[in-house]
A and B are shown apart, each in its own frame.
Chain A
Amino acid sequence: MKKIYSSFMTFILALAMVSCGSSSTNDNRSAQELSGAGATFPLPFYNVVFEQFSQVNGDVVAYGGIGSGGGVRNLRDKIVDFAGSDAFLSDKEMADMAPVVHIPTCMGAVVVAYNLEGVNNLNLSGEVIAEIFAGEIKMWNDERIVAINPGVNLPEESIIPVFRSDGSGTTFVFTDYLTKVSPMWKKKFGAGKSVNFPSGQAAKGNPGVAGVIKQTKNSIGYVGSEYAFAQKIAYAKIKNQQGEFVEPSASSISAAASGDIPTDTRCSITNSSAEGAYPISTFTWMIIYKEQNYSDRTKEQAIATLDLVKYILSDEAQNITSEVHYAPLPDRAKELSLKNLETVTYNGVTIIE
């Protein structure tokens, strides 16, 4: 089955490549067609960056927003040049495949979006969000919500939680945060790309969840920030460790990453203790193989892949982040990533001298 699936995917990708054959060429190598798949969360950012990259370099990048887990599976099946994921690979997943390199590409926020008539300013804390999604807070005028929203007229309506029906990096970031702030959540549900939410309804993909929230009165759900902005849905300010209620913005997301970053950049930055930090922030990663010679890839393709990654880490690309409601990487993450790229090889020979 896996073989059938992967050959099918290869076929689709091949079609995609044929249909967008490139004309311009790079200075010292021919233009390449790169393919990647994965998270939908950074898709709005990637769309802009990949387009610019192909204008600058002549290479064409095809990226399929099929979800973080799907992207990782495609990489494991070795049918893509890179995977996009909002969740870094666990040690167990790393052990299942050849060595990989994680490269953070930007930072973003998962926002808690809601549809409440007459309310456009809502404060929430991690504990309250956990109880809402656990089905323990059922009404909008529950005293636990009222207590942190003085002066807001909350209706006597039941809350409809909306979550993801497919496995998703966004779900991982959201539940990772809830696990850190609520012992109840940790015990009952835990963190993961798929979690058994006990109440409410589910929709497929970030756009699906945003659509349901927009259409459903008294609903609340979590989506990648760009999707809430695009659909003009209201989202809550979230209480961080410092006790401030913070809105997601380029600066509040950046603040969340001011802590220490491990050398392989695999770290969660939810529930950051920094001042002014938005607590449900995350890096989103591109994952590539350390050894680039697999599935008959040429050296030029490997070089093109690294060029793409370097382009994303460049100031030119990072400046786009805030335009599309993401946040630029901290310098430390960029330094680490460039260093990690030096370990990437083709036939055992490093590509970057």
Chain B
Amino acid sequence: MNDKIYRIILFIAALIMPIVCGGVIYALVTDAYDAFEHFGFFRFLTSSDWSYTEGSEQYGALPFITGTLMTTLLALIFCIPFSLPVALFVGEYFKGRKIATVLSTVTDLLAGIPSIIYGLWGFYTLRPIIMALNISEQGSGILTASLVLAIMIIPYAASLSAEFIKMVPNDLKEGAYSLGATRAEVIRKVVFPVAGSGIFSSYVLAIGRALGETMTVTMLIGNTNNVPNSITSTGNSMASIIANQFGEADDLRLSSLIAIGLILFLITAAINMIGKIMIKRARIS
């Protein structure tokens, strides 16, 4: 009897998740439908117009898709030189030692800081530096947002990569050492090939995090609705345009914003899926 109740509770609890997820997708699709119908799915994706003029409203998602992809890609590039050494330090060089525990705790701590704090730091500290170095006149832009995003995703990439590096079997490494390989050679020729897909998947998950980041990006990207033409120019990401304009939008603009939300949802879901598949493969091998 007790067991039965327990099972029913479990079943209900487990059922809620798919229902919520399905509900989100349903709401996104039905509300985005207007925009897709009015502009055409393909044109909505490729148009760079975002014009409010009443009567001839034109909404296209291209500036925001490029904004999101540029910030995410740059953040990934900036994040690798920091997260990979941390992962090697924790997972290989100082594996199991106190200093590695301290370092990985500190890195994980970065993940716990609310994004608004990163935004404030970026706005009051990083942005003036960018202006002082004359990298860009206005300080805000793709570059500034990407730099802060990179710091935000380092803990995700580093701690997961470190786990995969730790998992590389000692036999393999010892074999390589006995053949006279140096430590650098072991890392290059044994650790990376074995843990490779695992490391890759940890970066994929980090990208998933960067794609949807809203507050930090909104504070730093400059919020202009144009396709950015350089890494220092201002732009808008998919998440930040929604955050900026949702409060005021109605009718076609609201529907367009929800359509952008749907696209973001699909991109994020696809990237997470790729990450999951890669992790599975890494475990099997």
Contacts and interface: CB of A to CB of B under 8 A. Distances in A.
Interface of A: 1, 4, 66-70, 73, 158, 160, 165-168, 190, 192-197, 200-204, 211-212, 215-219
A196 B138 contact: no
Nearest to B23: A4
B116 interface: no
Given A70-B247, A194-B248, A215 B123 contact: yes
Contact of B247 (A66, A197, A215): A66
A76 to B, nearest CB: 9
Nearest to A212: B140
19 contacts: A66-B247, A73-B248, A73-B250, A160-B138, A166-B247, A167-B245, A194-B52, A194-B245, A196-B225, A200-B224, A201-B141, A201-B222, A201-B224, A201-B234, A202-B244, A204-B218, A204-B223, A212-B140, A215-B124
Interface string B243-280: 11101111000100010000000000000000000000
A165 B139 contact: no
Given A158-B137, A203-B223, A217 B245 contact: no
B137 A215 contact: no
A165 B137 contact: no
Given A196-B51, A200-B234, A216-B138, 16 more contacts: A1-B254, A4-B27, A69-B250, A73-B250, A165-B223, A165-B236, A166-B247, A193-B248, A194-B245, A197-B224, A201-B140, A201-B222, A202-B222, A203-B223, A212-B140, A215-B128
B52 A195 contact: yes
Given A1-B31, A167-B248, A167-B249, A190 B53 contact: yes
A209 to B, nearest CB: 11
Contacts of A200: 138, 224, 234
Contacts of A193: 248
Interface string B125-138: 00110010000011
B118 interface: no
Given A196-B52, A215-B123, A204 B139 contact: no
Contact of A202 (B30, B54, B224): B224
A67 B246 CA distance: 11
Nearest to A90: B54
Contacts of B137: 158, 160, 218
Most buried by A among B27, B31, B138, B225: B138
B27 A219 contact: no
Interface of B: 27, 30-31, 50-54, 123-124, 127-128, 131, 137-141, 218, 222-225, 234, 236, 243-245, 247-250, 254, 258
Contacts of B52: 192, 194-196
A217 B137 CA distance: 9
Most buried by A among B54, B128, B222, B248: B248
The 9 closest A-B pairs by CB, nearest first: A167-B248, A69-B248, A165-B223, A202-B223, A201-B222, A70-B247, A165-B244, A1-B31, A194-B52
A231 to B, nearest CB: 14
B127 A215 contact: yes
Contacts of B131: 216-217
A180 B62 CA distance: 33
Contacts of A70: 247-248
A193 B124 CA distance: 28
B260 to A, nearest CB: 14
Nearest to A193: B248
B224 A1 contact: no
Nearest to B28: A1
Contact of A69 (B50, B53, B247): B247
Nearest to A204: B244
A122 B131 CA distance: 24
A36 to B, nearest CB: 15
Nearest to B218: A204
A193 to B, nearest CB: 6
A192 B253 CA distance: 14
Nearest to A161: B138
B248 A67 contact: yes
Nearest to A199: B224
Contact of A67 (B30, B234, B247): B247
B1 to A, nearest CB: 37
A176 to B, nearest CB: 14
Contacts of B247: 66-67, 69-70, 166-167
Given A201-B223, A201-B234, A166 B245 contact: yes
A190 B54 CA distance: 10
Contacts of A168: 248
A111 to B, nearest CB: 20
